Every structure is written in C-alpha cells, then in structure tokens.
Amino acid sequence: MEMFGENGRDGVWTVMANVMDPESLNQAFNGCVGVFHTSSLIDPGGISGYTKHMAILEARAAEQVVEACVRTESVRKCVFTSSLLACVWRQSYPHHRRRFPAIIDESCWSDESFCRDNKLWFALGKTMAEKAAWRAARGRDLKLVTICPALVTGPGFRRRNSTPSIAYLKGAHAMLAEGLLATADVERVAEAHVRVYEAMSGGGAAGGRYICYDHVVRRGEEFAELQRQLGLPITGVAAASRPGYSDDGDVGGDGRFALCNGKLARLVSSRRRCTYDVYYPASYD
C-alpha cells in the first residue's frame, strides 16, 4: 500500500473482511476476477504458535473463502496458499525396503491422523484447510490452484519472532533427518503465485497443486541458523541418534525422501520465455 500511496489510487485499496462472515467476504470479492487466499491464523500471544483449535478454524475459513468465491459472480479464479507441510507428514516406511529416496511431490498428502497423534497442529491445519478448499471448489464454476510453500524467509525474517514460522518448525528435526526441511524466499513465493494465476487464464496449463521451495536444509548448522534468525533457543540435531545423519551433520542414508518442485519450475520457466513478460528490479530496505 505504501507503493501506491493514498487508498484507492491506481485501483488499489484495502478492504476489511471477516473470513468467517460469508456476506463480508462477498462484499470484499465483488468486482474481483481472482482471489489469492494467503491467510494464516497465529497465536496473538506468541506463546503456543498454533493450536488444534486454530487448525479447525483455518479449515473452516478456507471453506468459507472458496464458497464466497463461488457465490461471487465476478470471481473465476482462486490461488490458495497451502504449505509444504500439507505434503510431507506421514508414517515412515522401513528404510531397508527403499533403494532410492522416495519422491515427495504434488501428489503427496500429509496424514491427518499422524499429525494429530504427534500434535503437529500447523501441519494439520494446512492439510485440513487445503482439502476443505478442494472439496468446496469441486464441481463448481471456479478454477482453483493451490501452492504449497516451504518455510518462508526473506526481508525482515531476522527481525521477527514469527509464530507461524515457529509453528512450522515443530518436528523440524525429523524433517531434517528425512531431507524434507526446506525454505522458500518470499519473493519466489510471490512470483509463483503470480505465474500460476497468469497461467490459469482461458485454457491455461496451470492446475492442481504446486510445491514451492528454493533450498533444502541439509546440515545441522543451517538448522541452527534458522533457529537463531527466529530468536529460538538453538538445539542440537542429535545426529548420532537419528537415522539419516552422517557423523559430519549432513543428511544422508537410505531413508531420505527427496522433494520435487519440477511442476512449478516448468511452469515458471515457460512463462519467462514469453516475450511480453517484463521484469523490473526491486530493492528492499
């Protein structure tokens, strides 16, 4: 909003809406062609980060938003921000049965029962919310695409003790051991949303889910740096006691999973080849 100056200039303005109020959402969406649903519930006290109750609320909000998109005559497209956590949590398979890393891509879903049993509430909330969005859009006159970013980093990351980030990192040692702890720069995440939205037009190729990340954390030192940036107590990776670690702190072993974001990479690459795309450099303080 600071870029555009006063409210409403150049067709950009702020509208307040309650995601639990259908009429409020309809008023906010009226006249819009597309909706980007990027909301995330956080603990205002900054203590627990995310609770089971918040997971239920997030799923309900997702359903309300998509239903409002369907009801609003002008809206034809919705880009829904989910999370990589909606893809990676499930019961581990026996390591000796796998010769190669198992691929985690857009076809994978986190196991809700596993998330509940292990109190992974943020992962549960993201999984439930995305599934609720797909159910609400099924068979309706609305094109829905979901993006599943890894832990989002970028400008201001060092200065904020972000409760969603803290909640994301619950169970991070297990993700690190399996090669599933990844990060995504906020600019890359934003670009992914824009490119997917553009490719949804007409008979565009965009559809389904997209995993978004730009770095996989593979060493204990990198994980410690993430904790430091969030202002969290730095905990050891317990390398010797966890499968998938070598003595020098690298993630390795036969039990690793491998993340795959090829679907998004192909889409972004194809869009960049278009001659009418113009990119402007941007700097951030």
Residues labelled as active-site residues: 126
SS3 90: coil
Query: What is the H or E stretch that residue 81 is in?
Result: strand 77-81
109, two tokens? 């879903």
Q: What are phi and psi of 50, to 5 degrees?
A: -170, 140
For residue 169, give the nearest of 108, 101, 230, 112 by alpha carbon. 230
Cα 49 from Cα 122, distance rounded (Å): 9
Contact criterion met (CB below 8 Å) for 83 and 123? yes
Cα 120 from Cα 63, distance rounded (Å): 21
How would you class 152 by CB atoms within 10 Å of its CB: exposed for 0-12, middle for 13-18, buried for 19 or more? buried
Cα 212 from Cα 210, distance rounded (Å): 6
Contact criterion met (CB below 8 Å) for 268 and 191? yes
DSSP output for 62-78:
HHHHHHHHHHSTT--EE
Query: What is the H or E stretch that residue 185 is in?
Result: strand 182-185
Q: How far does Cα 182 stand from its chain's mean position?
A: 11
